[in-house]
Amino acid sequence: MDKLFLTIDELNELLNQWTGQYVKVTKHEIDDLDKTVIDLDSISYNKNHDTIDDYQSKYTMHLNGVGHVMTAQNKARPLPEDQYDIPLENDALYEFDGTEFIISTKRGIYKLEIVQ
């Protein structure tokens, strides 16, 4: 399947089908590369009011569930909270190729895929 660009509503509908599964999030921001695996319970969103700078995003997608971050030494560290946050803006791009999602923002690129 070719990559398809999605609306946020289409992304949400498809991503909600992944609840109950382990999802790996690979985040690439500037020179930072992180990999996180989360047992996806649910997805929620938050609108951030009164942002005073460009660092805080207008919206946040919360991937809710227990998870862990892989360190540079390839060791798993638990997430500080039972959620993984992805900052979103109005001009974010959402792609899906049938097996993975790509979310592109000004701050970085996030790849989401199911892991066994």
What are 30-87's pLDDT values in tens digits? 888 899 999 999 999 998 766 555 556 678 999 999 999 987 778 899 999 999 999 9
H or E element at residue 19: none
State how far Cα 34 lies from the chain centre. Answer: 11
Is it the case that residue 6 has pLDDT exceeding 80? Answer: yes
Question: What residues contact residue 49 under an 8 Å CB cut-off, 6+ apart?
Answer: none
Q: How far is 35 from 79, CA to CA, in rounded Å?
A: 11
Three-state DSSP at 43 gives: strand
Q: For residues 38 and 65, is the Cβ–Cβ distance under 8 A? A: yes
Average pLDDT over residues 85-91: 91
What integer best gives the mean pLDDT of the chain?
Answer: 90
The reported pLDDT for the residue numbered 45 is 94
Q: What is the pLDDT of residue 31?
A: 82
Predicted local distance difference test score (pLDDT) of residue 55: 55
Q: Is the dihedral of CA 94, 97, 101, 107 positive or negative?
A: negative
Position 70, amino acid: M
Q: Which two tokens stand for residue 2?
A: 């070719």
